[in-house]
Structure 1
């Protein structure tokens, strides 16, 4: 893990230079051919590495994904495992978590990578080496002005070649839960940034307070401006089934719904079993947590 400190002068990265690119459609012939017939040696598009999601959900460059859920239902925890999977696919990931210090994030991710409560010191040392060249964290906790965050992201693309950004959460970047115009502007800038720099952005957001957390929320329960879900490319909702947890009948205790996938062909709901010790999301009730084989991958 590498830290991006908050005391860097990001002023040079505050404004995106305007570009006016009007080109003939034929300029995209080869890109169109590649979309139909990818070369055998082409780099695969990153995905969620669970078997049930691997061929259904892709993290395409130039897109923004939103992860929404009721407070305490594990959206950040789920995304932590996604971050680990992205690193495992040799993506260059920057996490901007304004609700949790980097050491706490690494504590959680280390348990997920180790598949247990107490990773050994040699494993933690190896994991730290392995994350170099794969994982960066913006060292800032608390509210941030969203234009500064965009500047940090521009800096990170130029300095580190980041390909995946994680922002946790939208409400830490926009003052006022009812400032719908600011929310719209921020998400619009994220979408433009993703397209301009050919990166993928993962944005955490919250749900409106419903009648009961025992009822699975939907896309229209997401807090804030409706333009948020209209603008982003992918919408995921993480929901913890507390009734299944209490009954202990072997049913999934967590669901992840893909409510929107603009450039994909699948939408639906996936069931998982959350393992407390490893903090991993498992694909079946009888599955055991799997330790990430970081030694075999070596350095990025």
Structure 2
């Protein structure tokens, strides 16, 4: 197993130490005439059994709960009261191949950037240049943007969108360390990991899944970022059948520990085209249900209604004459 990451903050030391714990770890307790359970409990009980006077409980006086304004919304105003991606939480995204999971997460992250959040997009399935290209096309509303419009997009993304450079299988511990570094160095608030299949973790390694879920949760809490993980579903006999939580491949323990679980599916022979379904949402919002969405082919965005215009994520001037700045005649 990899060595723990050398991080100086006390919470990060705890996180790094948790990465190095072996699965065979056990406690040595002598069972004699004494109350051995009491002795075992004393080792951690004094520091972990909290009274109402503890600083954690007392902190509720200052702030009873985080404001929902701190959470990222979906890109459409009609959904803002239903879904919130709060800091220090984990979301699992799934859906069949070509359902548009990665594309929609690009759209969601462009929405986050427009709200002045900072994004780390970890694509383990695409080259970095392809990731940048797709972000630019979606933001510019065309598959063939002019150089000036590309420059507008890159200026908008500067110090707000960061792309991870790797298309190889990567150890989950290493990736968690890189995410922690990016949060500390660049102030990242939203992290996308695409996808679970590209992590060096066997589908049938259920203990590994449990550890991965624990790591994601601890990392989100310590970093105060929201982590979005894409997990592909198992192949079914009929790819057009609706999926459920049990179809998410190799991720049952991770799904159980996640704060939000969402699926995106293309609906064939339906007027709306795509369905975004929220299966699980912990917290004050606590809404579950689905949104029927329309697909815009040119921008590759999802919309609430087919007649809606695609969203603009750049300033209005960027869309005038392909981003070309007009010189005023004197």
Q: What range is the shorter-chain TM-score in?
A: 0.7 to 0.9
Identify the range of structure 1 (217-226 vs 81-90) with the bigger mean alpha-carbon deviation: 217-226
Corresponding residue number in structure 2 for 1:280: 301
Does residue 16 of structure 1 match 2:12? Answer: yes
Give, in whole Å, the separation in 1 of the partners of 2:97 and 2:71. 30
Check if 1:140 corresponds to 2:161. no
Q: Hey, what's the Cα distance between the residues in 1 that align with 2:71 and 2:132?
A: 25
Cα deviation, residue 293, structure 1: 3.4
Cα distance in 1 between the residues matched to 2:161 and 2:206: 32
**TM-score scaled by structure 2?**
0.78
Cα separation, 2, equivalents of 1:106 and 1:225 = 28
* Higher relative contact order, structure no. (Cα contacts within 8 Å, ≥ 6 residues apart): 1
SS class of match (2:91):
strand
Q: Which residue of 2 aligns with 1:26?
A: 58
RMSD: 2.4
In structure 2, stretches of 5+ residues that fail to align are 16-43, 319-330
Measured in 1, the distance between the counterparts of 2:181 and 2:70 equals: 26
TM-score, normalising length: structure 1: 0.85
Say if 2:56 is the partner of 1:60: no
1:267 aligns with 2:299: no
Q: For the Cα contact (< 8 Å) 2:214–2:257, is it kept in 1?
A: yes
Contact 1:214–1:243 at 8 Å: present in 2 too? no
SS of alignment partner, residue 6 of structure 2: helix
Aligned to 1:252: 272
- Structure with max Cα Rg: 2
Q: Which residue of 2 aligns with 1:121?
A: 147
Question: Which position in structure 1 is the counterpart of 2:265?
Answer: 239
Paired residues in the alignment total 276
Is the partner of 2:309 in helix, strand or coil? coil
CA shift, 1:182, in A, is: 1.3
**By percentage of residues, which structure has more strand?**
1
Can you give the 5+ residue segments of structure 1 that lack an aligned partner in the other structure?
A: 1-9, 245-250
- Bigger mean CA offset, 233-242 vs 106-115: 106-115
